[in-house]
């Protein structure tokens, strides 16, 4: 998957002769093999589940295989299910896991914020071995930690807009019809005129309700915007809150904090080379 993502990202850079270069070097053929391998792995998982189904749905794969459309009665075919799974891996797992890594890094640098979040988890999630679904939305401090993490390190680094007609942006930048403009989210999310002079600092209380209402809606867009905004936003928040709360409840996390954070981009942003020591509470 990582190899395929790297290949796709490079295809977005308009370099003359790239297609010929990829063909000659075998990179295009390697990309096709990567895709075939991913298809084969997921197809095997689906076939195993179809051959030995659970009596009651236990996970998302069960639901996709067993749930019929309420209007037509049709079920998703195996190829469609495979494509949905790969979409979750590429567009969901990749971004959510990177956001959790950034969150743990930031909490390690700010232990007081980590203790605030942990105290909330301990208060809401007592002796139960699993947290009830309705309790997840009550983990508001944990949610603010994730919001502030995505402000400083949006794992999807930006989105594009195409000019419908010739225009001038901000009275300074002439843009021709059809020209693409990239909105770089780290610049948007750290604009001092919106976020204050401490915009580069990790402060989750920026996302207290009164402060959110006081900001313009376009100042924070980690999931994109408009009709092509991330369709999995609520799913991602739910799983990230649940995962981070589980880690905070069960473990102390100690990260070897580097002098500067090394971040790489492979469609998404992710911290590079972080090493973590985990001990059970």
Which amino acids are annotated catalytic? Answer: 95, 223, 230
CA–CA dist 77, 68 (Å, integer): 11
Which residues neighbour 272 within 8 Å (Cβ) at sequence distance 6 or greater? 262, 263, 264
Q: Which two tokens stand for residue 119?
A: 């105290």
Q: Phi first, then psi: what are they for 171, rounded to 5°? A: 70, 10
CA–CA dist 269, 29 (Å, integer): 26
CA–CA dist 83, 42 (Å, integer): 9
Strands, E assignment, 193-267: 251-255, 263-266
Tell me if 5 sits within 8 A of 266, measured CB to CB: yes
Tell me if 251 sits within 8 A of 280, measured CB to CB: yes
CA–CA dist 156, 95 (Å, integer): 7
CA–CA dist 10, 173 (Å, integer): 27
């Amino acid at each position: 998957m990582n190899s395929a993502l790297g290949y796709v990202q490079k295809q977005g850079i308009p370099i003359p002769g790239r297609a010929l270069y990829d063909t000659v070097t075998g990179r295009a053929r390697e990309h096709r093999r990567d895709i075939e391998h991913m298809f084969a792995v997921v197809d095997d998982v689906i076939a195993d589940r179809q051959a030995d189904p659970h009596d009651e749905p236990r996970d998302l794969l069960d639901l996709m295989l067993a749930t019929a459309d309420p209007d037509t009665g049709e079920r998703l075919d195996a190829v469609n299910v495979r494509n949905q799974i790969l979409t979750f891996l590429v567009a969901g797992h990749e971004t959510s896991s990177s956001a959790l890594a950034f969150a743990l890094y930031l909490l390690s640098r700010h232990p007081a914020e980590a203790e605030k979040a942990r105290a909330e988890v301990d208060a809401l999630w007592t002796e139960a071995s699993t947290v009830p679904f309705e309790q997840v939305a009550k983990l508001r401090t944990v949610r603010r930690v994730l919001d502030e993490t995505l402000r400083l390190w949006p794992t999807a680094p930006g989105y594009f807009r195409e000019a419908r007609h010739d225009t001038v942006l901000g009275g300074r930048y002439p843009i021709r019809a059809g020209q693409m403009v990239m909105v770089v989210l780290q610049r948007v999310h750290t604009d001092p005129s919106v976020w204050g002079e401490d915009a580069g600092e990790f402060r989750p209380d920026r996302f207290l309700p009164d402060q959110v209402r006081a900001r313009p809606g376009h100042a924070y867009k980690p999931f994109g915007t408009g009709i092509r905004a991330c369709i999995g936003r609520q799913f991602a928040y739910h799983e990230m809150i649940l995962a981070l709360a589980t880690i905070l409840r069960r473990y102390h996390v100690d990260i070897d904090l580097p002098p500067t954070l090394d971040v790489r981009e492979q469609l998404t942003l992710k911290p590079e080379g972080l090493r973590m020591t985990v001990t059970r509470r």
